[in-house]
Chains A and B, each alone.
Chain A
Amino acid sequence: MRATGLRAMLGVQWRTHRRSMLVWILALVATLVGTAGAVAGLYTTPEKIHTYAQAVTAGNALAAINGKVEGIDSLGGVIQDESGFLFAFLLPLLGISLVAQVTRREEEAGRLEALLGGRVARHVPVLAGLIGTSVAILVTAIASALGLIAFGVPASRSVLYAASLGALAFVFAGLAALLAQVTLHSRGVYVWSLLVLAVAYLLRGVGDVTNTWVTWLSPLGWAEKAAPFGAMRWWTLLIPLALGGVLATLAVLVAARRDLGSSLVRGGAGSARATAWLRSPLGLATVIHRPAVFGWLAGALVIAGMMGALAQQFVNAVTGNPAMGEAIGMSGAQPEDGFLAITQLYIAIIATGYAVQAVGSLRGEETAGRLEPRLSGTLSRMRWLAVHGLVIVTGLVVIVAVSSVVLAVATAWSMGTATHLGRVVGAGAAYLPAELLVGGLTLAIFGLRPRAFPAGWAAFAVVAFIAFLGPGLKLAGWVLDLAPTTHVGNPPLGTVKAMPLVVLGAIAAVLAVAAAVGFRRRGVPQG
């Protein structure tokens, strides 16, 4: 099997996708190095590190979320624990998205056909995609290791930690490459690989909590068992590298043998008529936003269900060790409330992510060319925008409400007492103005400067970083204030004041009006 055109293909992929590649690398390295810097600045003495370690290992709850960190009684261990949750998703996503965007998405768009018509062998695009992604992963790992070393983490341990993260990304790159061969659309690649990731996360969590071999079933477990700050098991790297290699080889072999545009999994036929509901603007908008609602809701439910189920362990841990509450940013006075507050913040970030993506699909409608025919009928722009706004907000409320109820029920089950449903749902609802503000900001970008839409995701990334890591890393007050979630008041642990919520809501409303004014005045489509 000669890799005809590999060099040309690598060139094409580099030119067309280098931006997202560089953004991924920069974001990941910045997150890790930023966390390392903050941790190094915060835990300056062995005593402080020891207190932190004592706190977070006092129960299973945090092990379920962040993973069981061996050798947590060290600077590196604290870093691994702090970034455990975020990196469990970011690194697999790095592998998935970099591979998906140069393989199935290109094939779907028909751009691959032009290249394969030239001097490029059929299996070369996926091979080139895997090579490019592997290089990106390698660069990320090297830069991360250097960053850790710079903050005083021992060199060999830094290298093993970075390598275990890189190997994790590589497994999912291989998986995505294979899925890109068997599903017809890039959406399928994302859906299936994220499903695998969710299962991997749950297996790792179950294994860590029950202290069993189940952890070893998960790629996230392999990264954890490398124990870079503990026993340093270098050989565990072989598992993800071997599996990733097998998946990648399979992907290349399948690509060489299958027809262009073909797949194993194909959708069936559907209805020849649209229902009256689908024909209405509200119905179509619902269909457009439904996948995003379900996707983010599923994520929120995993968090709410898992956290709720571990509520009792959490409370026990904090009651027995007030320092743990301190370490994860909640006081020990009302442990149950503190635990609910943390979970609600996680759900709020997920809901915010949904809001950004939902507004992004309006932009997607425009760039795909579907907004133009929509507005060349009897539907006015303002009505189109209002209907979509209504559906997006409804989806947001559904995500917050359903996951709050699940959290309340799971918590009640775990603790064996009746949790006040109203308090939990109320806490979730208190975050709505903050979520709407970020959604309003992205909507304003859509209305006024549609080409700058990626800035909406950048804003979300900043909010998520501050919310997840800000309190733990004890970032400066003005930095914490940048995230609207900070102003909600940490319910139900803290008291929610009406005024900040009103201000957040008012800003969101102003942004929405700005969006409407901008959208009414601008030309459609703006490519």
Chain B
Amino acid sequence: MSTIHTVIRTEGLTKTFGPVRALDGLDLEVAPGEVHGFLGPNGAGKSTTIRVVLGLIRASGGHVELFGGDPWRQAATLHEQLAYVAGDVALWPGLTGGQCLDVLGATQGGLDETRRAALIDRFDLDPTKRVRDYSKGNRQKVALIAALAANVDLLVLDEPTSGLDPLMEQAFQEVVRERREEGCTVLLSSHIMDEVEALADRVSIIRRGRTVTTGTLAELRRHTRTHVHAVTVDAPAGLADALGVADYGSERLDGHIDSRFTIDAEHLDAVVGQLHAAQIHTLTVTPPSLDELFLRTYDAEGVPLEGTELGEPEEVRR
């Protein structure tokens, strides 16, 4: 396994449960060393994809590779290199949190003791409490610590921070960054945009069992529109018809000209020049958030804009 170019690769993956088509030609590529954000609304097929990738369920069609191997046939061997946090964390109610940690750790081939102790501290977990007396957040912590303290090359995290408070969420993000620094690959399924935005190098967005778009955050952003809010002394000339400008609105407020519009990233420079000529009073430029990318990917009726680039002009939607 010296030269693997992808840690996880699926091509045209399909999975049917009776009449239900959970995966419908899903493509996913996770490169070594990256944090890959895996986004999609509820029921899009994120957990199903992860289970196929882990060899827990068998694909109905298409191709799936984990560390270059077949996860269905070599599940136990391939699992030596990964740790998994399931979407619904379930632990043995009669055991204590610490015991569950060790049992889960043993399942993954052992935990790094130093890391285990440090993480218990960091996540403020009482390992002597019985699992049946834990809150949802505390059960989540146990599963997270077990995965993050494992000596593995790949972390598969299915909505790992559900139930965590913001403080713990922050601790989680720090630890994931540290693990990536150490060369660990992470597949992070989530629908918390801030978390993905803060962590992910690349993102795949899926919808109804299909990949809608994939790329680095920068790539995704390049094709999307930036919001500009400018207050100028004079009216900026010809801005409404300038190349790449849309959603233009302008009014006079308190003796200044208050303009709002959206702009293609590539035309930003020219437009700022025009604003400058009109004497800028204040200027706010907001790059699109992942929220927006995500919401844009599913328009109002919930139909993905298939075959269209994310950066397609607004007119297409109107």
Q: Within the complex, which residue of B86, B94, B127 is in contact with A272, where a contact is CB–CB below 8 Å?
A: B127
Within A99-119, which residues are at the interface with B (CB < 8 Å)?
Answer: 108
User: A380: which of B51, B75, B103 is its contact (CB, 8 Å)?
Assistant: B75
Near A by CB (< 8 A), chain B positions 84-110 give 84-86, 88-109
Mark the stretch among A163-171, A277-285, A391-399, A417-425 that contacts chain B. A277-285
Over the window 56-92 of chain B, the binary record of Cβ atoms lying under 8 Å from chain A Cβ atoms (1 yes, 0 no) is: 1110000000000000000111011010111011111
User: For A272, A521, A524, which residue has the most chain B Cβ atoms within 10 angstroms?
Assistant: A272
Specify the chain B residue showing the minimal Cβ separation from A266.
B133
Q: What is the 8 Å Cβ interface bit string for chain B, positions 140-161, against chain A (1 contact, 0 not)?
A: 0001000000000000100000
Pairwise interchain contact A377-B79, C-beta atoms closer than 8 A: yes
Q: Is the CB of B92 within 8 A of A274?
A: no
- Please report which residues of chain A, range 243-268, place their CB below 8 angstroms from some CB of chain B when the two chains form the complex: 266-267
User: How far is it, in angstroms, between the C-alpha of A266 and the C-alpha of B132 when the chains are bound?
Assistant: 11
Cβ-based interface call for A452 (8 A): no
* Nearest CB in chain A to that of B92: its residue: A370
In the complex the two chains form, what is the Cα distance from A284 to B102 in whole Å? 11
**Contact of B103 (CB < 8 Å), options: A267, A269, A284, A383:** A284
> A119: shortest Cβ distance to chain B, in Å?
25
Residue B130 lies at the interface, judged by CB distance under 8 Å to chain A: yes
CA distance A261 to B105 in the complex (A): 30
Please indicate the chain A residues that have their CB under 8 angstroms from the CB of B100 in the complex.
274
Asked if A44 is an interface residue, CB under 8 A from chain B, the answer is: no
User: A279 to B132, Cβ gap below 8 A?
Assistant: no
B90 touches A370 (CB 8 A): yes
Interface residue? A273 (CB, 8 A): yes
Task: Flag if A369 contacts B88 (CB, 8 Å).
Answer: yes
* Given known A-B contacts A269-B128, A272-B127, A272-B128, A376 and B84 have beta carbons under 8 A apart: yes
A278-B102, A287-B94 known; A373-B84 Cβ under 8 A: yes
The reply to whether the CB of A368 lies closer than 8 angstroms to some CB of chain B is: yes
Is A287 within 8 A of B76, CB to CB?
A: no
Residues on A with C-beta less than 8 A from B76 are 377-381, 383
* Residues of A103-155 whose CB lies within 8 A of B: 108
List of A residues within 8 angstroms of B104 by Cβ: 373, 377
Question: A449 near B: Cβ within 8 Å?
Answer: no
- Given A267-B132, A270-B130, A378 contacting B90 (CB threshold 8 A): no
Q: Are B99 and A369 interface neighbours, CB within 8 A? A: no
What residues of A have a CB within 8 angstroms of the CB of B91 in the complex? Answer: 370
Q: For the complex, what is the distance from the CA of A256 to the CA of B132, rounded to whole Å?
A: 24
Q: Is the CB of A267 within 8 A of B54?
A: no
B90 touches A368 (CB 8 A): yes
CA distance in complex: A269, B127 (Å): 9
Which of B51, B90, B126, B129 counts the most chain A CB atoms within 10 A? B90
Contact of B58 among A266, A376, A380, A523 (CB under 8 A): A523
| Distance between B198 CB and nearest chain A CB, rounded to angstroms | 26
- Residues of B257-277 whose CB lies within 8 A of A: none
Please tell me the number of chain A residues within 8 Å of chain B, measured between CB atoms. 35
Chain B residues near A474 (CB, 8 Å)?
none
Q: Check if A273 sits within 8 Å of B109, measured CB to CB.
A: no
Check B107 against A379 for contact (C-beta < 8 Å).
yes
Bound: A375/B103 CA distance, A: 12
Chain A residues near B94: list those with CB within 8 A.
287
Query: Does B86 contact A373, Cβ atoms closer than 8 Å?
Result: yes
C-alpha spacing A128/B98, complex, angstroms: 39
Asked whether A310 is an interface residue with its Cβ less than 8 Å from the other chain, the reply is: no
The minimal Cβ–Cβ distance linking B284 to chain A, given in whole angstroms, is: 41
Most B CB within 10 A of own CB, among A288, A375, A383: A375
Point out the residues of chain A lying under 8 angstroms from B54, CB to CB.
376
Return A158 CB to nearest CB of chain B, in Å: 45
Would B56 and A369 count as touching, CB distance under 8 A? no
Partner of B96, one of A270, A279, A380: A270
Q: Which residues of A contact B101 (CB under 8 A)?
A: 274
B51 to A523, Cβ gap below 8 A? yes
In the complex, A274 Cα to B95 Cα: how many Å? 9
Q: Given A270-B130, A287-B94, A375-B56, does the pair A279, B86 have CB atoms closer than 8 Å?
A: no
Closest to B130 in A: A267
Question: Nearest Cβ in chain A — how far from B235, in angstroms?
Answer: 55
Residue in A271, A274, A378 whose beta carbon sits within 8 Å of that of B79 in the complex: A378
Nearest CB in chain B: distance from A270 CB, A: 4
Answer whether A381 and B75 are a contact pair too, CB < 8 Å, given A369-B90, A374-B107: yes
Q: In the complex, are the beta carbons of B56 and A524 less than 8 A apart?
A: yes
Bitwise interface map of A from 36 to 71 toward B, beta carbon under 8 Å scored 1, else 0: 000000000000000000000000000000000000
CB neighbours (8 Å) of A278 from chain B are 95, 99, 102-103
Closest Cβ of chain B to A145, distance in Å, is: 42
Contact partner, A523, options B56, B96, B98, Cβ 8 Å: B56
| Cα–Cα, bound, A271→B54 (Å) | 31
| Chain B residue, CB-CB nearest to A268 | B130
Known: A272-B98, A274-B102, A287-B94. A369 touches B129 (CB 8 A): no
Partner of B102, one of A279, A368, A379: A279
Measured CB to CB, the nearest residue on chain A to B132 is A185
A75 at the interface (CB under 8 A from B): no
Q: Give the CA-CA distance A266 to B129 in the complex, in Å.
A: 12
Q: Chain A's nearest CB lies how many Å from the CB of B123?
A: 14
**Does A184 sit within 8 A of B, measured CB to CB?**
yes
Decide if A274 touches B98 in the complex (CB within 8 Å). yes
The answer for the CA separation of A368 and B80 in the assembled complex, in Å, is 24
Minimum Cβ distance to chain B for residue A464 (Å) = 28
One of B79, B86, B105, B156 near A369 (C-beta < 8 A): B86
C-alpha spacing A380/B71, complex, angstroms: 12
Contact check, A273 vs B99: say whether CB atoms are below 8 A apart.
Answer: yes
On chain B, the residues within 8 Å of A372 by CB distance are 51, 56, 86, 90
Q: Report chain B residues within 8 Å CB of A381.
A: 75-76
Q: Is the CB of A271 within 8 A of B51?
A: no
B80-A378 in contact (CB<8A)? yes
Report how far A403 CA is from B242 CA in the complex, Å: 91
Least Cβ–Cβ distance between A363 and chain B, in angstroms: 14
Task: Tell me the complex Cα distance, A374–B79, Å.
Answer: 11
Asked if B51 and A184 make an inter-chain contact with CB atoms under 8 angstroms apart, the answer reads: no
Beyond A267-B133, A271-B128, whether A378 also contacts B108 by CB under 8 A is yes
In the bound complex, do residue A375 and residue B75 qualify as a contact, i.e. CB atoms below 8 Å apart?
Answer: yes
Q: What's the minimum C-beta distance from A448 to chain B, rounded to whole angstroms?
A: 15
- Bound-complex Cα distance A274 to B94 (A): 12
How far does the alpha carbon of A380 sit from the alpha carbon of B89 in the complex, in Å? 20
* Smallest CB separation, B107 vs chain A (Å): 3
In angstroms, Cα B75 to Cα A375, docked, is: 8
Cβ 8 A contact of A279, one of B92, B103, B130: B103
What 0/1 pattern do residues 286 to 308 of A give for CB contact below 8 A with B?
Answer: 01100000000000000000000
Q: Check if A271 sits within 8 Å of B88, measured CB to CB.
A: no
Q: Which residues of A contact B106 (CB under 8 A)?
A: 274, 279-280, 377
What distance in Å separates the Cβ of B129 from its nearest Cβ neighbour in chain A?
6
Q: How far is the CA of A378 from the CA of B152 in the complex (A)?
A: 12
Shortest CB distance B116–A (Å): 10
Q: List 10 A-B contacts (CB under 8 A).
A: A269-B96, A269-B126, A269-B130, A288-B92, A369-B90, A373-B143, A374-B107, A377-B76, A378-B80, A383-B76
Shortest 5 CB-CB contacts between residues of A and residues of B: A377-B107, A523-B57, A369-B90, A274-B102, A272-B98
Question: Which residues in B have some Cβ–Cβ distance to A below 8 Å?
Answer: 51, 54, 56-58, 75-77, 79-80, 82, 84-86, 88-109, 126-130, 132-133, 143, 156
**Other A-B pairs, 15, CB within 8 Å; known A272-B96, A274-B99:** A185-B93, A272-B97, A272-B98, A273-B127, A279-B105, A287-B92, A287-B94, A288-B92, A370-B92, A372-B56, A376-B84, A378-B77, A383-B76, A523-B56, A524-B56
